[in-house]
């Protein structure tokens, strides 16, 4: 025997919870009774919400627009974001008891600084509007059945004895492949494919730390964080994209927000052209000629000390001053350009000066790869938005099915943009699914 429901949401992460809540609210407002089930393979819900933002959950950003995203066309992304924008998102969370504070970076965090506040509020709102949360209940397959869908559970530990479910509408919110131990391991793609969807040609980690070769001198600086401009260049040296923010040196290579933001663009550029490169500029906003002039006119200390104490660049990166490089970095850059860090600044030869300026402003860092989905915050690629109707996130190839969240070919920058995509697309999918049932279509 199969259990019956009206709307089955597969995946109760950020997008799935929002979709289920939006559906529940739409039904309540219309005075309709809809049975809404949110199914998730995880024993405990909301793993990614809890780890997000270092356990504080960066729920959104005060200014979200489509330029912060990659993947499907920016017009399509804007269309969906506009249907449940930051203002409505903030109002929604305020209503369910989550207040925000805005950081200098524009990121919005709960005032409690606890991701748990966000997850608990979503779960209690889901229950309030009548959503049944089934977990663990991992979906193995879904297929069209009569005028709806049949959903089969995997033969694994489950919260009940029910093995299959028939629902009039299904919402696939099973995420991508980032952080697979959270339960988002790419199974959602198989479910979408079985309903006739295609995937982008490539599905790859985004917002992911990068690796450098063993023995690369920057690995020695593990733990040092600096403000920098991270530039992705094509093989001909053309700047494809750049991000100015913190860079963190680690024992395996590079991390920090500027690196994470650049990672998917580097992967994309290298896929098209293996000669594409990653360049670091430790004097962001400072023209090369200005640095050169500043060194020429400086007097006194050794070059490494001068870089550590007197270099002043223009870009402001929250959490950092724009004066001086970390001492360990300035020494390492000198040594890497074969200049004794103690060389008095006025004794530098022109060749030495040019070499130092090159190291500071455009250090090409060999990248061997990335840390993979296990360490990625999000997935690049997925179901193209051209396969869904943007006003309802309903599938164009399998009417009655909706998709939302990271399963779609949309990935955003660091800063709350990925959750905003989950909230917006989840809201659109959930409210449209409910309304269509209420309207009897
Ligand atoms: C470490 C880390 C930190 C992050 N920090 C931030 C941040 O601060 N701000 C931000 O905007 N974004 C952040 N992100 C990204 C953000 O978490 C994701 O964009 C967002 O969670 C995607 O939501 P989703 O609901 O689409 O997918 P997910 O959150 O991945 O949820 C999918 C759900 O589907 C379930 N599922 C999968 N397959 C099945 C199946 N077959 N049957 C049943 N259930 C299934 C999974 O168990 C999971 O619960 C972070 C990500 C990581 C990994």
Q: Give the model confidence (pLDDT) of 323-344 as tens digits.
A: 789 999 999 999 999 999 999 9
Quickly tell me which residue has 């949110």 as its tokens: 38
Is it the case that residue 441 has pLDDT exceeding 80? Answer: no
Tokens of 289: 């000629």
Residues 256 and 333 in one domain: yes
Distance CA(49)–CA(53), nearest Å, equals 9
Residues 268 and 182 in one domain: no
Distance CA(228)–CA(364), nearest Å, equals 13
> Which residues make Cβ contacts (< 8 Å) with residue 14, sequence separation at least 6?
48, 49, 122, 405, 419, 422, 423, 426
Name the residue range of residue 323's domain.
210-370
Least confident of 165-179, 198-212, 213-227, 282-296: 282-296
pLDDT of residue 299: 87
Quickly tell me which residue has 């023209």 as its tokens: 287
Question: What's the average model confidence in pLDDT over 248-277?
Answer: 97
- pLDDT level of residue 311 (50, 70, 90 thresholds): confident
| Residue after which a domain boundary falls, among 370, 397, 415 | 370
User: What is the CA(139)–ligand 1 centre distance, in A?
Assistant: 16
Residues 220 and 346 in one domain: yes
Is it the case that residue 19 has pLDDT exceeding 90? Answer: yes
Give ligand 1 pocket residues (Cβ under 6 A).
Answer: 10-16, 39-42, 48, 51-53, 57-58, 138-139, 173-175, 178-179, 183-184, 187-188, 377-378, 405-406, 416-419, 422
Residues 342 and 248 in one domain: yes
Q: What are phi and psi of 280, to 5 degrees?
A: -110, 135
Nearest by Cα to 179 from 156, 206, 140, 211: 206
Question: What's the average model confidence in pLDDT over 5-17?
Answer: 98
Q: What is the pLDDT of residues 389-422, one digit of tens each?
A: 999 999 999 999 999 999 999 999 999 999 999 9
How many domains does the chain fold into?
2
Residues 214 and 196 in one domain: no
- pLDDT level of residue 1 (50, 70, 90 thresholds): low
Burial class (CB in 10 A: 0-12, 13-18, 19+), 62: middle
Nearest by Cα to 28 from 126, 114, 115, 107: 126
Q: What is the pLDDT of residues 80-109, one digit of tens each?
A: 999 999 999 999 999 999 999 999 999 999
The CATH number that applies at residue 120 is: 3.50.50.60
Residue whose CB lies within 8 A of the most ligand 1 atoms, among 9, 12, 13, for a mutation test: 13
Which pTM was predicted?
0.97
Is it the case that residue 425 has pLDDT exceeding 80? Answer: yes
pLDDT of residue 184: 94
Is it the case that residue 300 has pLDDT exceeding 90? Answer: no
Residues 356 and 251 in one domain: yes
User: What is the CA(384)–ligand 1 centre distance, in A?
Assistant: 18
Q: What is the pLDDT of residues 126-141, one digit of tens each?
A: 999 999 999 999 999 9
Residue whose CB lies within 8 A of the most ligand 1 atoms, among 186, 418, 423, for a mutation test: 418
Mean pLDDT for all residues in the chain:
96
Q: What is the pLDDT of residues 362-388, one digit of tens each?
A: 999 999 999 999 999 999 999 999 999
- pLDDT level of residue 319 (50, 70, 90 thresholds): confident
CB 263 within 8 A of CB 255: no
The CATH number that applies at residue 319 is: 2.40.30.10
Residues 165 and 284 in one domain: no
Helix (H) or strand (E) holding 366: none
pLDDT of residue 2: 80
- pLDDT level of residue 249 (50, 70, 90 thresholds): very high
- Which atom of ligand 1 sits closest to the CA of residue 16? 25
Q: What is the pLDDT of residues 192-241, one digit of tens each?
A: 999 999 999 999 999 999 999 999 999 999 999 999 999 999 999 999 99
pLDDT of residue 321: 77
Tokens of 28: 């309540």
Residue whose CB lies within 8 A of the most ligand 1 atoms, among 11, 178, 409, for a mutation test: 11
């Amino acid at each position: 025997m199969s259990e019956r429901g009206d709307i089955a949401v597969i995946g109760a992460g950020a997008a799935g919870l929002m979709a289920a809540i939006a559906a529940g609210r739409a039904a309540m407002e219309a005075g309709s009774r809809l049975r809404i089930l949110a199914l998730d393979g995880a024993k405990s819900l909301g793993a990614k919400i809890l780890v997000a933002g270092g356990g504080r959950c960066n729920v959104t950003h005060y200014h979200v627009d489509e330029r912060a995203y990659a993947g499907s066309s920016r017009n399509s992304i804007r269309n969906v974001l506009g249907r449940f924008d930051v203002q409505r998102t903030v109002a929604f969370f305020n209503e369910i008891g989550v207040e925000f504070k805005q950081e200098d970076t524009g990121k919005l965090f709960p005032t409690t600084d606890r991701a748990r506040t966000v997850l608990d509020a979503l779960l209690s709102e889901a229950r309030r509007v009548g959503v049944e949360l089934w977990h663990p209940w991992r979906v193995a397959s879904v297929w069209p059945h009569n005028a709806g869908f049949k959903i089969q559970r995997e033969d694994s530990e489950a919260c009940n004895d029910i093995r299959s479910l028939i629902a009039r509408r299904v919402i696939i919110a099973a995420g991508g492949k980032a952080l697979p131990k959270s339960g988002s391991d790419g199974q959602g793609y198989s479910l979408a494919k079985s309903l006739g969807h295609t995937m982008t040609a490539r599905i790859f980690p985004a917002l992911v730390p990068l690796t450098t070769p063993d023995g690369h001198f920057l690995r020695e600086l593990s733990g040092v964080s600096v403000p920098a401009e991270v530039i992705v260049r094509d093989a001909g040296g053309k700047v494809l994209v750049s991000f100015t923010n913190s860079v963190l040196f680690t024992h395996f290579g590079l991390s920090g927000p500027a690196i994470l933001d650049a990672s998917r663009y580097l992967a994309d550029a290298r896929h098209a052209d293996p000669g594409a490169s990653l360049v670091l500029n430790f004097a962001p906003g400072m023209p090369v000629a200005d640095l050169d002039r500043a060194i020429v006119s400086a007097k006194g200390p050794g070059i490494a000390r001068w870089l550590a104490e007197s270099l002043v660049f223009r870009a402001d990166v929250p959490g950092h001053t724009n004066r001086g490089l970390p001492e360990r970095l300035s020494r390492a850059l000198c040594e890497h350009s074969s200049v004794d860090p103690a060389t008095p600044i006025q004794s530098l030869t022109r060749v030495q000066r040019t070499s130092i300026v090159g190291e500071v402003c455009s250090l090409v860092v060999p990248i061997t790869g990335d840390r993979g989905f296990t360490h990625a915050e999000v997935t690049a690629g997925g179901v193209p938005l051209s396969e869904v109707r943007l006003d309802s996130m309903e599938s164009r190839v399998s009417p009655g099915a909706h998709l939302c969240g990271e399963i779609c070919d949309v990935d955003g920058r660091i800063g709350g943009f990925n959750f905003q995509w989950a909230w917006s697309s989840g809201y659109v999918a959930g409210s449209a699914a409910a309304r269509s049932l209420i309207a009897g279509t």
